[in-house]
């Protein structure tokens, strides 16, 4: 049987066609199966909502500049070399996703494992303050969810541009996020941008079309000459077009026909813009993109309504006259679509080609100008712990950065430069203090905790191990049954006497602001009264004797008979008693005693300050590593009494530390003083404490709420001493005014925005490491486990029996000494 050539060629073409379809089917099947096994890291991305000054006036300029930087990110990703291989799936597929779950708009990225580090580096270059956390994949579907699905396609050829951010007056993404912000309750949605770098051939198509239009062709003619797109299916179509033209029988007379001379087409203004738009689009790198939208709601109507709102928000990018526009396609097979969504498949059938500028316009992280509610912003910037973090020392907390955990520690040597802590109430300051103090106690160190509220003291007491019960000194002025003595005028040497007097004058100046109310006169009479009383301790040398020596002439004569200091004796005999006018003794006595009466007539405070001998020796307590817990609850003893006792205790601890000069430095044991709301208990001598006490191994941990507490009557001595001497600064959430100050201490990592918006139980630290400060970073304190309150009560009882005295005995002693009955 003879088969003519045409029949054979047709048969051969059919065979080739079937073979191609078979291979294409195998390719699609293998690729889809392989895609299911592709491994990507799912990253949750957050950035802080920084505010900009004069943002309203510079809004458009700010948006242009910001998105110009974001474009660099997509330029880098689109610049990756496109993977090749017919039966090998591409592993360079990324996915950027806007997800609404529980009413919050979250931003996720799925990154191929091989490009994980590359992507992190590129996005950090654009968003230096970005926080990235590796997460398990999210789920927007509920058991009874009704879903809506849609995918965006171009209405025209991919070479035509869409509107970009450079032509918008505002951020175009805000329209999309606004459509997501309306979801409530069980409603959820996700916009998925699956993308990969486009192969190089796409540039040539747009340029050729524009070139032919400039040569005198209309857009449709240029399209016809250039032909189809660059997808695999387009290439197959061109192959069959060529094959068909090869089979076509040509008429011999065609060769004799003269070619028609066609008149050159004059481009309209619209066509000129169209050609220009294609040239501009092809001037930048490109991405193959699938844009999927999935919604979930309790009802189908609501799911479809949400879907329509989201898809309609993309109409703003349409250029109807001389460019491209988005149109929605609703897949017939929703299950297949959801499968692509879950596995983040790139489906060539729905391919969009966007250059880096267009991609930036349709998806990016929110800007500072974004006013969309319910965005899951990063409350405060996060930073990694320094690489030279000590492996030993006191644990401050735990740093968690991008899934990596690290314990934050501080060495003993660096603790000697003191720790300063600031934060609003309820942010976690007390938990932090408790955590540090408990560690010191369990490690056998000497500590003193001064608590103005009482709760912290009780909690720390509950963590004292049983084997350290004998070390505890629990001072509670509210325990009126067995008051512990605290003689403010107690001393051992003449040097100590001068220190005690100076500190007492500083304390009363702090309590009553004496500099503004006749301070020099008060100081002169108060100093000489204390010197007179303290020269003979047998007849009484406590604060209780000061009013008596001023008001009782007989008692004063008795004291003068015992005094050894001639200058003191001359003051009382030649100046005070013979002075007249406003400076007379009769006028000064009420002025001075009025400052002392609130304490010596107080039934809670008097039995404490009127005892001749203090209940314990602070120097011995420090050297023997005792646990001193001071409960100065303002609610129980009053604000003024709490301040007085606290300042006296701080002064005694400071003096005890300075007295260690008689010990070689290597024999001085570290002692740790914790003071909550420390501004109430320190005088201007804090500068001496911070600069000198470290030499004597007195290490401070100071906490309070806001910086204005450190400034009184424009006196910045205390504030300056803190920021000039403290080595480690820990900041919880603080107010606006304080944030400006602390941000300067922690720049450039931390800004005032971060300090204002930090969540509770999170803090920033400027940590001293080997006497140097690396960049600031954030961490979370580790709260101690629940303590043993039954053991705490037993320890408290042991301490009061050991150091306290029966109130009746104390009162009888006071009466017999002063002959004054209360």
Of 8-22, 70-84, 554-568, 752-766, the least confident? 8-22
In sign, the C-alpha dihedral spanning 676, 681, 684, 686 is negative
Give me the helices (H) in 36-172, please.
59-78, 116-126
Of 233-242, 298-307, 442-451, 780-789, the least confident? 233-242
**671 beta partners:** 446, 698
What is the rounded distance in angstroms from the CA atom of residue 328 to the CA atom of residue 481? 82
Residue 91's pLDDT is 82
Return the CATH fold of 40-198+285-362: Vanillyl-alcohol Oxidase; Chain A, domain 3 (3.40.462)
Give the Cβ contact number of residue 520 at 10 Å.
Answer: 9
Phi, psi for residue 90 in degrees, rounded to 5: -75, 135
Give the Cβ contact number of residue 116 at 10 Å.
Answer: 14
Which tokens belong to 278? 């294609």
Residue 314's Cβ-side half-sphere holds a number of Cα atoms within 13 Å equal to 24
Closest CA to 93 of 226, 169, 196: 196
Residue 399 banded pLDDT, cuts 50, 70, 90:
very high
Give the Cβ contact number of residue 166 at 10 Å.
Answer: 14
Give the Cβ contact number of residue 542 at 10 Å.
Answer: 25
Which is more confident, 278 or 238?
Answer: 278
3-state SS class at 249: coil
Residue 671's pLDDT is 97
What is the rounded distance in angstroms from the CA atom of residue 573 to the CA atom of residue 580? 13
What is the rounded distance in angstroms from the CA atom of residue 336 to the CA atom of residue 699? 66
Q: Is the pLDDT score of 244 beyond 60? A: no
Closest CA to 275 of 210, 182, 231, 369: 210
Residue 54's pLDDT is 43
Which is more confident, 822 or 422?
Answer: 422
Q: Is the pLDDT score of 232 beyond 70? A: no
Residue 45's pLDDT is 94
3-state SS class at 260: coil
What is the rounded distance in angstroms from the CA atom of residue 532 to the CA atom of residue 548? 11
Find the helix packing angle between 494-512 and 585-600, rounded to 10°. Answer: 90
Q: What dihedral angle (degrees, nearest 10) is formed by the CA atoms of 8, 10, 13, 15? A: -70
Per-residue pLDDT tens over the stretch 287-322: 999 999 999 999 999 999 999 999 999 999 999 888
Q: Is the pLDDT score of 44 beyond 50? A: yes
What is the rounded distance in angstroms from the CA atom of residue 71 to the CA atom of residue 69? 5
Which is more confident, 114 or 11?
Answer: 114
Residue 486's pLDDT is 94
The mean pLDDT of 212-216, rounded to a whole number, is 85
Residue 475 banded pLDDT, cuts 50, 70, 90:
very high
Which is more confident, 16 or 111?
Answer: 111
Q: Indicate the domain borders of the chain.
A: 40-198+285-362, 386-413, 487-599
In Å, what is the CA distance from 568 to each residue of 198, 220, 698? 95, 112, 34
Size (the chain), residues: 822
Of 1-10, 147-156, 760-769, the least confident? 1-10
In Å, what is the CA distance from 577 to each residue of 524, 532, 544, 572, 573? 14, 14, 21, 6, 6
Asked if 256 contacts 250 with a C-beta cutoff of 8 angstroms, the reply is: no
Per-residue pLDDT tens over the stretch 656-696: 998 998 899 889 999 999 999 999 998 877 777 788 888 89
Global pTM?
0.80
Q: What dihedral angle (degrees, nearest 10) is formed by the CA atoms of 428, 432, 437, 439? A: 130
- CB under 8 Å, gap of 24 or more: what pairs does 515-518 form? 515/713, 516/713, 518/591
What is the rounded distance in angstroms from the CA atom of residue 119 to the CA atom of residue 645? 59
Integer Rg of the chain from CA:
41
Give the Cβ contact number of residue 665 at 10 Å.
Answer: 10
The mean pLDDT of 119-131, rounded to a whole number, is 90
Which tokens belong to 304? 């479809």
Phi, psi for residue 26 in degrees, rounded to 5: -65, -40
Residue 520's pLDDT is 80
Residue 822's pLDDT is 35
What is the rounded distance in angstroms from the CA atom of residue 212 to the CA atom of residue 208? 6
Element (H, E) at 109: strand 104-112
Per-residue pLDDT tens over the stretch 342-359: 999 999 999 999 999 999
Residue 106's pLDDT is 96
Residue 23's Cβ-side half-sphere holds a number of Cα atoms within 13 Å equal to 11
What is the rounded distance in angstroms from the CA atom of residue 286 to the CA atom of residue 518? 80
Q: Is the pLDDT score of 254 beyond 70? A: no
Asked if 344 contacts 95 with a C-beta cutoff of 8 angstroms, the reply is: yes
The mean pLDDT of 796-808, rounded to a whole number, is 95
Closest CA to 395 of 437, 445, 425: 437
Q: Is the pLDDT score of 567 beyond 70? A: yes
The residues, any chain, with a CB within 8 Å of residue 464's CB and separated by 6 or more, are: 441, 471, 472, 627, 791, 792, 795
Task: Determine what percent of the chain is predicted with pLDDT higher than 70.
Answer: 89
Which is more confident, 213 or 265?
Answer: 213
Give me the helices (H) in 113-186, please.
116-126, 173-180
Q: Is the pLDDT score of 84 beyond 80? A: no
Cis before 738 (ω within 30) = no
Closest CA to 460 of 674, 308, 284: 674
Phi, psi for residue 481 in degrees, rounded to 5: -70, -35
Residue 494's pLDDT is 82
Q: How far apart are the first and last CA of the chain?
A: 140
What is the rounded distance in angstroms from the CA atom of residue 378 to the CA atom of residue 47? 5
In Å, what is the CA distance from 228 to each residue of 211, 231, 260, 324? 16, 9, 25, 17
Of 252-261, 375-384, 792-801, the least confident? 252-261
Find the helix packing angle between 269-282 and 219-226, rounded to 10°. Answer: 40
What is the rounded distance in angstroms from the CA atom of residue 195 to the CA atom of residue 355? 11
Asked if 822 contacts 606 with a C-beta cutoff of 8 angstroms, the reply is: yes
3-state percent helix, strand, coil for the chain, nearest multiple of 5: 50, 15, 35
Q: Name the DSSP class of 783.
A: P
Residue 819's pLDDT is 66
Residue 257 banded pLDDT, cuts 50, 70, 90:
low
The residues, any chain, with a CB within 8 Å of residue 761's CB and separated by 6 or more, are: 427, 428, 431, 780, 781
Residue 521 banded pLDDT, cuts 50, 70, 90:
confident
Which tokens belong to 581? 């006018």
What is the rounded distance in angstroms from the CA atom of residue 505 to the CA atom of residue 647? 11
In sign, the C-alpha dihedral spanning 786, 790, 794, 797 is positive
Residue 343's Cβ-side half-sphere holds a number of Cα atoms within 13 Å equal to 17
């Amino acid at each position: 049987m003879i088969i003519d050539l045409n029949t054979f060629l047709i048969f051969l073409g059919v065979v080739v066609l079937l073979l191609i379809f078979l291979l294409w089917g195998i390719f699609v099947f293998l690729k889809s199966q392989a895609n299911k096994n592709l491994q990507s890291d799912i990253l949750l991305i957050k950035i802080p909502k920084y505010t900009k000054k004069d943002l309203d006036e510079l809004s458009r300029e700010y948006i242009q500049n910001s998105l110009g930087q974001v474009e660099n990110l997509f330029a880098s990703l689109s610049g990756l070399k496109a993977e090749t291989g017919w039966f090998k799936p591409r592993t360079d597929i990324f996915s950027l996703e806007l997800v609404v779950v529980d009413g919050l708009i979250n931003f996720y990225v799925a990154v191929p494992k091989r490009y994980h580090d590359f992507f992190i580096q590129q996005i950090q270059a654009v968003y230096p303050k970005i926080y990235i956390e590796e997460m398990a994949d999210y789920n927007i579907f509920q058991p009874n969810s009704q879903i809506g699905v849609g995918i965006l396609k171009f209405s025209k050829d991919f070479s035509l541009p869409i509107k970009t951010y450079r032509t918008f007056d505002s951020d175009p993404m805000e329209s999309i996020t606004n459509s997501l912000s309306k979801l409530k309750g069980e409603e959820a949605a996700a916009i998925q941008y699956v993308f990969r770098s486009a192969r190089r051939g796409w540039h040539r198509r747009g340029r050729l079309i524009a070139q032919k239009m400039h040569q005198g062709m209309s857009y449709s003619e240029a399209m016809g000459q250039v032909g189809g797109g660059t997808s695999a299916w387009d290439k197959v179509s061109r192959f069959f077009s060529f094959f068909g033209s090869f089979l076509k029988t040509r008429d011999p007379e065609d060769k004799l026909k003269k070619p028609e001379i066609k008149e050159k087409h004059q481009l309209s203004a619209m066509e000129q813009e169209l050609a220009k738009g294609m040239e501009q689009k092809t001037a930048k790198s490109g991405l193959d993109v699938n844009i999927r939208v999935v919604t979930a709601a309790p009802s189908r109507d609501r799911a479809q309504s949400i879907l329509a709102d989201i898809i309609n928000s993309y109409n703003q990018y349409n250029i109807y006259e001389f460019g491209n526009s988005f149109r929605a396609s609703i897949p017939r097979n929703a299950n297949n679509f959801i499968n692509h969504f879950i596995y983040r498949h790139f489906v060539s059938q729905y391919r969009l080609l966007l250059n880096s500028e267009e991609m930036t316009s349709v998806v990016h992280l929110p800007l500072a100008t974004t006013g969309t509610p319910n965005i899951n912003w990063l409350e405060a910037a996060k930073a990694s712990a320094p690489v030279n973090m000590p492996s030993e020392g006191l644990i401050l907390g735990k740093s968690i950065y991008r899934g990596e955990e690290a314990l934050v520690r501080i060495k003993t040597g660096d603790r000697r430069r003191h720790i300063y802590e600031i934060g609003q109430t309820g942010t976690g300051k007390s938990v932090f203090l408790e955590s540090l103090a408990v560690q010191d106690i369990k490690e056998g160190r000497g500590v003193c905790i001064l608590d103005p509220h009482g709760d912290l003291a009780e909690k720390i007491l509950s963590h004292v191990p049983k084997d350290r019960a004998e070390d505890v000194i629990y001072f509670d002025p509210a325990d009126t049954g067995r008051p512990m003595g605290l003689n403010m005028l107690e001393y051992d040497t003449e040097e100590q006497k001068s220190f005690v007097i100076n500190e007492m004058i500083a304390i009363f100046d702090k309590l009553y602001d004496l500099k503004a109310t006749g301070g020099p006169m008060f100081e002169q009479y108060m100093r000489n009264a204390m010197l007179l009383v303290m020269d003979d301790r047998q007849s009484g040398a406590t604060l209780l004797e000061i009013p008596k020596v001023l008001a009782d002439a007989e008692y004063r004569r008795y004291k003068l008979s015992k005094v050894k200091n001639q200058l003191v004796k001359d003051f009382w005999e030649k100046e005070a008693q013979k002075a007249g006018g406003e400076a007379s003794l009769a006028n000064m006595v009420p002025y001075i005693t009025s400052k002392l009466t609130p304490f010596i007539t107080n039934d809670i405070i008097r039995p404490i300050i009127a005892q001749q001998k203090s209940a314990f020796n602070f120097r011995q307590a420090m050297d023997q590593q005792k646990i001193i817990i001071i409960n100065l609850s303002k609610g129980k003893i009053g604000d003024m009494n709490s301040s007085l006792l606290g300042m006296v205790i701080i002064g005694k601890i400071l003096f005890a530390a300075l007295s260690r000069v008689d010990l070689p430095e290597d024999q001085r044991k570290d002692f740790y003083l914790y003071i909550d709301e420390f501004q109430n208990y320190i005088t201007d001598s804090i500068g001496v404490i911070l600069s000198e006490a470290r030499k004597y191994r007195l290490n401070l941990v100071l906490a309070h709420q806001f910086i204005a507490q450190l400034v009184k009557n424009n006196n910045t001595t205390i504030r300056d001493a803190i920021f000039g001497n403290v080595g480690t600064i820990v900041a919880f959430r603080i107010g606006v005014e304080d944030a400006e100050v602390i941000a300067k201490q922690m720049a450039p990592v931390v800004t005032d925005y971060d300090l204002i918006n930090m969540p509770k139980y999170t803090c920033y630290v400027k940590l001293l490491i080997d006497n140097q400060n690396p960049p600031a970073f954030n961490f979370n304190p580790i709260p101690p486990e629940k303590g043993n309150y039954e053991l705490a009560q037993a320890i408290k009882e042991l301490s009061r029996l050991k150091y306290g005295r029966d109130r009746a005995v104390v009162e009888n002693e006071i009466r017999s000494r002063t002959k004054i009955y209360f």
